[in-house]
Amino acid sequence: MKVLLLVAHGSRRKEANAEVFELAEQLRCSDSVNADLIHTAFLNMAYPSIPDGIAKCIEDGATSITLIPYFLNSGRHVISDIPDIVKEARQQHPDVSIRIAPHLGQSGLMAELLIKIVNLLS
């Protein structure tokens, strides 16, 4: 059973966190996304935390979890913090495959999106 875990930074502003839940909902509503379940977790300042998010995936029957880091740049959160948490989670859940997808900003499609957004400015 394949579960996607959308992982965002987290904010003190609940409206900012709600945007991430809404995005996960849009993923769920997409016919083309190949996953049995989609959950959400936050690195900081919001719940569920990443370990809690991973535990929830496993509770729901996940045999394979893919974290999607919803981050723009390869700063320390992407390079160290998330991998460190996942390393620990793998030790706690050795029977579950847990992997980290490339972070959002790594996509070559990002420049394309930015250009589209800039062109929509009046």
Site residues (vs its own copies, CB under 8 A): 4, 6, 8-9, 11-13, 15-17, 19-20, 23, 26-27, 30, 32-35, 66, 68, 70-76, 78-79, 101-102, 104-105, 107, 109-111, 113-119, 121
DSSP 3-state of 43: coil
**From the DSSP assignment, how many helices (H) and strands (E) are in the chain?**
5, 4
Give min distance, CB of 18 to its own copies, in A.
9
Give min distance, CB of 24 to its own copies, in A.
9
Among residues 80, 100, 77, which one has the least CA distance to residue 5? 100
Give min distance, CB of 50 to its own copies, in A.
17
Cβ atoms < 10 Å from Cβ of 116: 9
